[in-house]
A and B are shown apart, each in its own frame.
Chain A
Amino acid sequence: MSGSGPRLRVNPIRCDGARYCAEIVPELVGLDEWGYPIVASAPIEDPRLLRLAERAVNECPRVALQLAPIRDRGS
């Protein structure tokens, strides 16, 4: 895996498709046909995108978006 920046992660149980994230940082968050976010899986290196990603995390009304540090998925 390349890159060391954090990446966006959605808690799909919390998320109810408010779409704020896709408006704040469309570079990293797309939407499916039903308005649920599809987030880029690549680590975020660009400081500008990282700031926007942080804002999207803070603005999510359902607190469903996280900026997750790199960690390998445990068993």
Chain B
Amino acid sequence: MTATAVLSPPGSPPLRVERGGGPRLLAGPRLDLDAETLDEHRQRLGRRPIGGEWLLDVVERSGLRGRGGAWFPTHRKWRGVSRLALERGPSVVVVNASEGEPLARKDVLIAEKRPHLLIDGALIAAESVGADDVVIYLSRPARRATRALRHALGERRRDGIREPRIRIVHTQHRYVAGESSAVVRRVNGGQAKPTFSPPHPSERGVLGCPTLVQNAETIAHAALIARHGDAWFRERGTDAAPGTGMVTLAGNVARPGVYEVDLGRSLVSVVGAAGGVLSAPAGLLIGGYFGTWLDAEVGAAATLCPEDVSLGCGVIGMLGKDGCGVGESARIVSYLARESAGQCGPCVYGLRAVGEAMTRLAVGDADRGDLARIHRWSEQIVGRGACNHPDGAVNNLRTALETFAADVERHVSGHACAGLGATPLPSPPRSPFGWR
């Protein structure tokens, strides 16, 4: 059992609580220090192995899944790109550390504190899928991560390591900017907005080449799997959910922040590692803004297993008894509506209408007709965007209406939220105007 608190809310001192096996991705120097240097990294982990076809089997046996949100089996993605690279020539690897999810900070943290692990992983992945172009994709406001990676690349050059050049590409910080087709469009010089598929980026991505777009945490795990093997990876977590994972705890917990934990363990123990809840829980949101609301009882029995409930980007938002899940969901869905890329009618108009109706519901201004419209509209918009943005928002909304059915009833009878309570989830950020 392991939990390592690595990031505290602004203002409080950095915090580390370790039990059992200790962190993997974030092992090494203290996290309140600067990035790990090349020397420190080498002393700790030795030189990196060279990737290649051999690694595809190892990654398959490890059971590693994509940590960007979809939890897609990593080896299948790698094999697909690798096969196309053999047929059509060199592929491209894009390490996605853009992290558009407002509450998450795990990918940026890895880039900031362990840049060499991330670079190792990117190169190993490139060798394994036949890529000759390697990109690290970052959100423009992630300045510390950019600085750490540039510095790390400089260290490697000065050390005389011969390895492919790695480009850093920046994007505006938007919710959809990390969606894989948006990533490809941005790397190709456009705006970070999703495109219609097929073709999927793995078939036709950066400059038309087969492209592997992989989340940063996943790449960092792969860098360690290549060194230590699949059996080592499976020493932690469970058979169904092997390895460790980065989760972000927010809301009604004593010490919100980013934690590296064993997958498969109980949600209660993870919350315990964050100092426990501040007040009796009313429910929780697991998987970030696209995630699933669970009531306190279901939450108490849940485990961190993607087969049971999707962990999405690893964000767990705890809601206190005085909070209102309907109000929280209304805020989140309205935010997601503003974050639409503005390309698809059902997302632009449907999501906006649903967000407005949810807000009316939260303030006690909605009648049964509004509630019926929320249900009808949300059913209609699922699957009708070019990407999963509307579907993710609907998942949040639908599970909120189910989980907090009693609150919905109160709201429909004209009672507004009693506010969002003493420990609401952090507010969604303001959306920037326009795209650049």
- Cβ B386 vs Cβ A34 within 8 A: no
Evaluate contact between A12 and B198: CB separation under 8 angstroms: no
Which of the residues A16, A36, A74, A75 comes within 8 Å of B346, measured between beta carbons? A36
B384, A12: Cβ atoms under 8 Å? yes
- Asked if residues B76 and A13 are in contact (CB atoms below 8 Å), the reply is no
Q: A13-B195, A74-B80 are in contact. Are A36 and B202 (CB under 8 A)?
A: no
Q: Which has the most chain B C-beta neighbours within 10 Å: A11, A13, A16?
A: A13
B218: min CB distance to chain A, Å: 14
Residues of chain A with a CB closer than 8 A to B350's CB: 32, 34
Inter-chain contact A75/B345, CB cutoff 8 Å:
no
Min CB distance B311 to A, Å, is 19
Known: A38-B380, A75-B202. A12 touches B80 (CB 8 A): no
Return chain A residues, CB-CB under 8 Å to B200.
74-75
Taking CB atoms, residues of chain A closer than 8 Å to B196 are 11-14
- Minimum CB–CB distance for B24 against chain A, Å: 26
B205–chain A nearest beta-carbon distance, Å: 13
Shortest Cβ gap from A51 to chain B (Å): 25
- Verify B384–A38 contact, CB threshold 8 A: yes
Specify the chain B residue showing the minimal Cβ separation from A64: B196
When C-beta atoms are compared, the residue in chain A nearest to B200 turns out to be A74
- Docked-complex contact A11 and B386, CB < 8 angstroms: yes
Chain A, Cβ-Cβ closest to B73: A75
Asked if A24 is an interface residue, CB under 8 A from chain B, the answer is no
Query: Is B377 part of the contact surface with A, judged by Cβ < 8 Å?
Result: yes
User: Does chain B have a CB within 8 A of A33?
Assistant: yes
For A26, the chain B residues whose CB sits under 8 A away are: none
Q: Which of B80, B195, B349, B381 is within 8 Å of A75, CB to CB? A: B80
In the complex, the answer to whether B76 meets A75 with C-beta atoms within 8 Å is yes
- Is A15 on the interface with B (CB-CB < 8 A)? yes
Determine the distance from Cα of A57 to Cα of B349 in the docked complex, in whole angstroms: 24
Interface centre among B195, B380, B385 (most CB of A within 10 A): B380
| Chain A residues within an 8 Å CB radius of B377 | 32-33
Q: Which residues of A contact B345 (CB under 8 A)?
A: 12, 15-17, 32, 34-36
Measured in the bound complex, the distance between the Cα atoms of B345 and A33 in whole Å is 11
Contact B346 A32 (CB under 8 A): yes
Residue of A14, A16, A36, A74 contacting most chain B CB atoms (<10 Å): A36
The distance in angstroms between the C-alpha atoms of A36 and B344, with both chains bound, is: 9
Task: Report the bound CA distance from A35 to B384 in whole Å.
Answer: 13
Report the minimal beta-carbon distance from A57 to chain B, rounded to whole angstroms.
15
**Complex contacts, A11 vs chain B, CB 8 Å:** 196, 386
CB distance from B185 to the nearest CB of A (A): 11
B435 at the interface (CB under 8 A from A): no
B193-247 contacts to A (CB < 8 Å): 195-196, 198, 200, 202-203
In the assembly, what is the distance between CA of A2 and CA of B432, in Å? Answer: 46
Measured CB to CB, the nearest residue on chain A to B203 is A74
Q: Does B343 contact A (CB under 8 A)?
A: yes
List of B residues within 8 angstroms of A16 by Cβ: 345
Q: Write the B321-354 contact mask toward A (1 if CB under 8 angstroms, else 0).
A: 0000000000000000000000111110110010
A36 touching B76, Cβ below 8 Å: no
CB nearest neighbor in B for A36: B345
List B residues 156-204 near A (Cβ within 8 Å).
Answer: 195-196, 198, 200, 202-203
17 sample A-B contacts, Cβ–Cβ < 8 Å, listed by A number: A11-B196, A12-B196, A12-B343, A12-B345, A12-B385, A13-B196, A13-B344, A13-B386, A16-B345, A32-B380, A33-B377, A36-B345, A36-B349, A74-B198, A74-B200, A75-B76, A75-B202
In the A-B complex, the 10 residue pairs with the smallest Cβ-Cβ separation, listed nearest first, are A12-B344, A36-B345, A34-B349, A13-B343, A11-B196, A13-B386, A13-B196, A32-B380, A12-B386, A36-B346
Other CB < 8 Å A-B pairs besides A12-B347, A33-B349, 10 of them? A11-B196, A12-B346, A14-B196, A16-B345, A17-B345, A32-B346, A32-B350, A33-B377, A74-B200, A75-B76
